Structure 1
Amino acid sequence: MRKAINLSVPNLDVDPIVENLKECIESGWVSTGGRFIGEFEEKIAKYVGTSEAVGVQSGTAGLHTSLRVLGVNPGDEVLVPTLTFIAAVNPVTYQGAIPVFIGCDDTLCMDPNLLEKFLREECIVRDRVTYNKKTNAKIAALAVVHVFGNMANMEKIIELAKEFNFKVLEDATEALGTYYTEGKYAGKYAGTMGDAGVFSFNANKIITTGGGGMVVSNNPEILNEIRFLTTQAKTDQLYFIHDEIGYNYRMLNLQAALGTSQIDNLESFIETKIKNYNLYKEAIENIEGLTLLPFNSDIRPNYWFYSVLVDEEKYGMNKDKLLKKLVEANIQTRPIWGLIHQQKPYQNHQAYGIERAIWYHDRVLNIPCSSNLTEEDAKYVIEKLKEFQDNV
């Protein structure tokens, strides 16, 4: 059988990594101290255009501490997408808050028109605080996810946040490198327009440290508090005095040692992803019943995932049958995650306008998109997509 073509795997340059890891080991700084953490933070901040960044243990840790610092309290509600990975929503419950699920538009990101309709029709503002009419709970924040490297409509979302007085947390864990090319936020990167933004460096992300994440903000007070909380909230470093409950959420120096070389390669990774996306797009346009989903026209996306829409009637099989055939051909393929409002912990939570999310969930597959995907492998995937239809 032909070698496996994986969905999204790390693209690691061994030589600088070996040197960095060797320095960590020889210096003894392998844990939550060491020079690479600060270096990686500085490189990320410079790349996305913020003054500072704070390294954390994971994207999830970054979301959790950000929600706390942004003032989300037990009993509050946080508006979240249903079409996302569950790690984007669980931190809301860590805070004792309650997620309210909003549906997506054709970008697969939260629909700003549905969001506005929910706020105007389902909420009431009293003394500059927005409350859900159904539950009488305060709407404290919105956690928006830039799905698959696309960008949610941040201009409208931030306008609504200002009008209804809630915080905006950007889950940019899939969108490092995506930025606006037009409009009010031209030149602004995903993660830098809300009150705080979070990146992830999990193994399947566009750059990786094996795990780890990063929080960015244009508000230094937010970042200072996150740095404090993620290092066990030590009020006195020398005598280990803790006046608050903190977390062991700090990034490891070993992780940062990987990240400092990875961030230097990010733009070349994106160039490869653009090339392969266009290769897929040109071929898939000629396969009836398949559509490679586009990215927004007003952004430079990072092209993290390539999403194929399957029209069962025209293609001759549904996305689930196609998924099985691709896997049998040793091509790793993945559907959209299970919608979060349908997961057992969240089935009794309020969900608003989720019909389109269900529609896309039933029709979309993600195909191999690694930044080291070869042209030969991409052409093999295309060959199989054509072959399966011909043999229906």
Structure 2
Amino acid sequence: MAEIIPLCVPSVGSAEVEAVTEALQSGWVAPAGPCVDKFESELATVTGRPEAIAVSSGTAALHLALLAAGVRPGDEVAVATLTFAATANAVAYVGATPVFIDCDETGLMSPELLRLALSERSAAGRSIRAVVPVDVYGRPADYPQIIAAASDFGATVVSDAAESLGGSLGGSPAGSFGEFAAVSFNGNKIVTTSSGGAVLCSDAESAERVRYLSTQARQPVEHYEHTEIGFNYRLSNILAALGSAQLYRLPQILAAKRSHFEAYREMTHTLDGVSVLDPSDGNCWMSVLILETETDARTLAEQLLAEGIATRPVFKPMHLQPVHSGSDHSYITGRAENLFLRGLVLPSSTDLSPGQVRRVIECVKKCLGARSRVW
């Protein structure tokens, strides 16, 4: 078998090595220091936010954002069902109940279903406290409509922008929407700090609350004094240095991702019943193939793996996950499940070579070409 083309691995070079080495040599190895301050300032600029707080993971960022938004045990939170588990897990961390909202044809939270959920839950005396749209595969959700619906019913919008850094919507950067937003710097994200994330806040007061909770809720006195439960969620100075080096390369990374996507989209023009999820102004973090052919996504995945090409199914919707089988109040049309069954994520690493991209395309055509017919 030829060398396997991975799904999505980080792009790390000499600039990152130099930045991390300098951070190590500075002596700042704790979850504080000048590199953290610098990284937070850069993140705020890139996302158009007044404040950014760097934390240990995107999941931690969601958890802190929900706490700062005032979500408490017993509350209900509207969550996009087409997402990674972390989105719903963070809701569970604060003791709230997720109300899953299906997607529209784009794979993003349906504003119409959200408004229906907000209206019906309010009429039932169970107002939804917060709304968590998800920028799936780097494509910002329809925030103008989502924010309008949430505002009409007094709900706070917490954007799960874990995957969309560098994208935009209507000229505004991803991460700039909602009262809070959470981004991720996991190893496979568009920018990585190995493990890490950030909470993006609309004002200094909210940012202060997030910072306080992320540092064990320690009171500002000389001894260790705590009046409420906090969390050990801050990002290390060393990882922040890595993040700054990655942010500097963001335009280059975005251009590479877009190039991969455009090559895959061009491929679909030669195949019946095959398309890719349109990223619009997204960051092209992952390219997703959608099949309406006799060859289903699972079969194609097996065939591509035999050719040395790694792929992954589209996210299994949260309302289908066994851990959420008891969810009674979900607004589901079947669109997310349909994408799960028909979608396949193609290799999307920043450093994919032209030859690797050609190999993926040739293998997809080989597997689907002559046998690909619309149902």
- TM category (shorter chain) comes to over 0.9
The equivalent position to 2:149 in structure 1, one of 160, 164, 188, is: 160
1-structure distance, mates of 2:48, 2:298: 41
Whether 1:373 and 2:352 are equivalent positions in the alignment is yes
Given that residues 170 and 190 in structure 1 are in contact (C-alpha distance below 8 angstroms), is that contact kept between their aligned partners in structure 2? no
1-structure distance, mates of 2:46, 2:81: 30
The equivalent position to 1:214 in structure 2, one of 198, 212, 223, is: 198
Whether 1:99 and 2:98 are equivalent positions in the alignment is yes
| CA displacement 1:10-44 (0-9 Å, x = unmatched) | 01122x32332223322321121221101110111
CA offset at residue 390 of structure 1? 4.6
The equivalent position to 1:232 in structure 2, one of 200, 206, 216, is: 216
CA offset at residue 261 of structure 1? 0.4
Name the amino acid aligned to 1:7.
Answer: L
| CA displacement 1:119-160 (0-9 Å, x = unmatched) | 23x2336xxxxxxx2xx4331101110100112110011111
Given that residues 191 and 198 in structure 1 are in contact (C-alpha distance below 8 angstroms), is that contact kept between their aligned partners in structure 2? yes
Whether 1:364 and 2:343 are equivalent positions in the alignment is yes
Q: Which runs of 5+ in 2 are unaligned?
A: none
Whether 1:288 and 2:287 are equivalent positions in the alignment is no
Name the amino acid aligned to 1:279.
Answer: A
Match of 2:121 in 1: 123
What's the secondary structure of 1:198's corresponding residue? strand
1-structure distance, mates of 2:354, 2:364: 15
Match of 2:306 in 1: 328
The equivalent position to 1:345 in structure 2, one of 314, 320, 323, is: 323
2-structure distance, mates of 1:26, 1:382: 45
What's the secondary structure of 2:352's corresponding residue? coil
Given that residues 75 and 137 in structure 1 are in contact (C-alpha distance below 8 angstroms), is that contact kept between their aligned partners in structure 2? no
Q: Which runs of 5+ in 1 are unaligned?
A: 126-132, 181-185
What's the secondary structure of 1:365's corresponding residue? strand
What's the secondary structure of 1:170's corresponding residue? strand
Given that residues 80 and 101 in structure 2 are in contact (C-alpha distance below 8 angstroms), is that contact kept between their aligned partners in structure 1? yes
What's the secondary structure of 1:142's corresponding residue? strand
CA offset at residue 190 of structure 1? 1.7
2-structure distance, mates of 1:362, 1:79: 23
1-structure distance, mates of 2:284, 2:278: 10
2-structure distance, mates of 1:161, 1:324: 42
Whether 1:171 and 2:155 are equivalent positions in the alignment is no
1-structure distance, mates of 2:228, 2:191: 33
Q: CA RMSD in A?
A: 1.4
CA offset at residue 117 of structure 1? 2.2
Runs of 4+ in 1 over 6 A off after TM superposition: none
Given that residues 122 and 128 in structure 2 are in contact (C-alpha distance below 8 angstroms), is that contact kept between their aligned partners in structure 1? no
CA offset at residue 225 of structure 1? 0.4
What's the secondary structure of 2:83's corresponding residue? coil
2-structure distance, mates of 1:362, 1:155: 29
| TM-score scaled by length of structure 2 | 0.95
Whether 1:47 and 2:28 are equivalent positions in the alignment is no
What's the secondary structure of 2:315's corresponding residue? coil
Match of 1:183 in 2: none
Match of 1:8 in 2: 8
| CA displacement 1:96-139 (0-9 Å, x = unmatched) | 1000101001111101111122223x2336xxxxxxx2xx4331
CA offset at residue 237 of structure 1? 4.6
Size of the aligned set, in residue pairs, is: 370
- Superposition pairs for residues 127-142 of structure 1, below 5 Å? 133=124, 136-142=125-131
Name the amino acid aligned to 2:122.
Answer: I
What's the secondary structure of 1:199's corresponding residue? strand
Match of 2:188 in 1: 204
2-structure distance, mates of 1:89, 1:141: 12
Taking only the aligned residue pairs, the percentage that are identical comes to 37
Name the amino acid aligned to 2:251.
Answer: E
Given that residues 24 and 34 in structure 1 are in contact (C-alpha distance below 8 angstroms), is that contact kept between their aligned partners in structure 2? no
2-structure distance, mates of 1:305, 1:169: 22
What's the secondary structure of 1:241's corresponding residue? coil
Given that residues 192 and 246 in structure 2 are in contact (C-alpha distance below 8 angstroms), is that contact kept between their aligned partners in structure 1? yes
1-structure distance, mates of 2:260, 2:317: 28
Structure 1 residues 124, 251: closer, same or farther in 2, change over 3 A? same
What's the secondary structure of 2:172's corresponding residue? coil
Given that residues 196 and 215 in structure 1 are in contact (C-alpha distance below 8 angstroms), is that contact kept between their aligned partners in structure 2? yes
What's the secondary structure of 2:73's corresponding residue? coil
Structure 1 residues 237, 324: closer, same or farther in 2, change over 3 A? farther
Given that residues 107 and 150 in structure 1 are in contact (C-alpha distance below 8 angstroms), is that contact kept between their aligned partners in structure 2? no
Name the amino acid aligned to 2:54.
Answer: G
What's the secondary structure of 2:78's corresponding residue? strand
